[in-house]
Structure formats: C-alpha cells, structure tokens
Amino acid sequence: PSLTATLSITATPLVTATVTGTVTGTVTPTSAITATQAITSVAQRPRPFENGVFLALPSTGVNLDGDLSLWSNSWIPVQNVVFGAENYAGPTDLSGEFQALWSTDGLYIAARVRDDIYRSGAPGADLWQGDSIEIHFDRQLSADYDDATMSADDYQIGIGFGLQLNQVTGYRWFPESEAGPIPITGAVRPVEDGYVTELLIPWSVFDITPDEVMGDATFGFNLSLSDNDSDTPGQQTILSASPARTDHRTPPEWGTLILRTE
C-alpha cells in the first residue's frame, strides 16, 4: 500500500481525557503460546491480503489532543457492513477511516468517524451497545494461525466516548480471564458529521512488554465501528476494516498489522 497520501485538517481540540482501569485475571498459557513468549520468536505469517494489510509507522511523538492534522499517512477505510445491513442507510449513517502509529509506549490510533446520530453505550462491558470502536488483536499470529476460535493470545477490546463525546474509556472482553476496564489514553472531539479521536493503547493491554516490541513485527488485527441510532441500548450495525469478518470471535477473518521501521 502507498503511504504518500497527505491530509491537512485544522481544528481546535475541545476535549482530552485519560481514563485508567484495573485489569483483573491472568492469562492461562497453552502448549503453543505462553504469556511471556517473545512476540518475535516465531516467523509471522500474514493473513490473506484481501483481509487487509494495515501499516503502522514509527511514532516520533503524538500529542493526544484530537487534532489529526499531523497524521499525514494513508487513511484506511472502515466501510464493510458485516452486521445489521437492514439498518444501514449509507456512509452518512456510519463510515470511518483510521491510521496507526507505534512506539514502545503502545499502539496509536487516529480515527475519523462519520455518524449522523451519536448514541453512547453504557460504560464497561456494555459499551458495545452504543457508538464505539472495537479492536481485535492476535499477539502470536503464526503460533495458532489456523485456529478458528480465539485463544489466550487473542484480544477483543472496545473504546467508548461517553454521553457527550467527552471522555475515552476502554474495556477488554477477551481473553475472558482478563476481562475488565483497560487504561486508554486519548482525546475525542465532535465534528459536524461525527467525531474524531486519537488513542494510545498500551502494549500491556495485549500482554506485550516494551522490550518485546520491534520493527517489522506482525500481528493479527482488525478495527470495527459499532452504531446505534436508537434510544434503546443495542448494536444496530457493524462496519469492519476487514471485509472477511462475520462475527467477533474468528481470528482468521482479521487483517494483518505490520509495525514498519520507516
């Protein structure tokens, strides 16, 4: 994929927030994957190209204030309707795009989301019942490449933005032994047709230590958007970066995240 696209947006950030949470539980190792196994110890096989190849460039410093004008790489579309097509009215109803950067601190995500009606979900485990971002991450991509179900090295997290698009909260659903709030640092800002957000997801959320992170590391990855236009909590539509996604628990349907060195 080309990395030559340039975007310039000028905006004044309105809201910044840092929310921390307590992670409970431990990862139960399997014979193929251990909680302390270095992420570069196995040559990583990428997922099929058509699932999406998402490049994260090295970060030289990100000011998490909701101003995306310095994110100058190619935007990755999130446009595949994988759930709730009967409720979907088109790109103005819900659509989005994102970029990724990385450092030893974690994975940085910038997202621009078009959403004509914002409805937040409840904080915590039920945040998926509202407008939110969902991320899937496979830490040891090749170790269990052909497994059709999630295991201890696979992660499902959600990020919500409060009743008034005025806070950033995170929750980890999987591994179930580690389910609970997670520390997400970031900012969110409403715009005319939706919202924009900058996020830092610490590597610890994925049970990775900073000294394990290296350029050219490869992971399973997908980013999805959830939509609810009703006053009743629920999930009406899901848009996915990977067109192969059919549910929330099948790693072979995710794309590939590559940490570039330049």
Residue 9 lies in a domain: no
Residue 2 lies in a domain: no
The model's confidence at residue 16, banded by pLDDT at 50, 70 and 90, is very low
Residue 175: DSSP 8-state: S
Residue 47 lies in a domain: no
> pLDDT tens digit string along 66-88?
999 999 999 999 999 999 999 99
Provide the domain limits for residue 75: 53-259
Residue 20 lies in a domain: no
Residue 8 lies in a domain: no
Residue 104: DSSP 8-state: T
Please give the model's pTM, rounded to 2 decimal places.
0.82
Residue 157 lies in a domain: yes
CA neighbor of 180 nearest in space, from 156, 201, 199? 156
CA neighbor of 116 nearest in space, from 195, 231, 223, 12? 195
Residue 124 lies in a domain: yes
- C-alpha 55/C-alpha 100 separation (Å) is 7
Name beta bridge partners: 136: 156, 222
- Give the list of residues 6+ apart from residue 49 with CB closer than 8 angstroms, or none: none
Identify the CATH number of the domain in which residue 163 sits.
2.60.40.1190
The whole-number pLDDT of residue 43 equals 54
CA neighbor of 103 nearest in space, from 68, 71, 56, 146? 56
More confident residue, 111 or 146: 111
Residue 165 lies in a domain: yes
Q: Give the chain's domain count.
A: 1
> pLDDT tens digit string along 28-65?
333 333 333 344 434 568 888 789 999 999 998 899 99
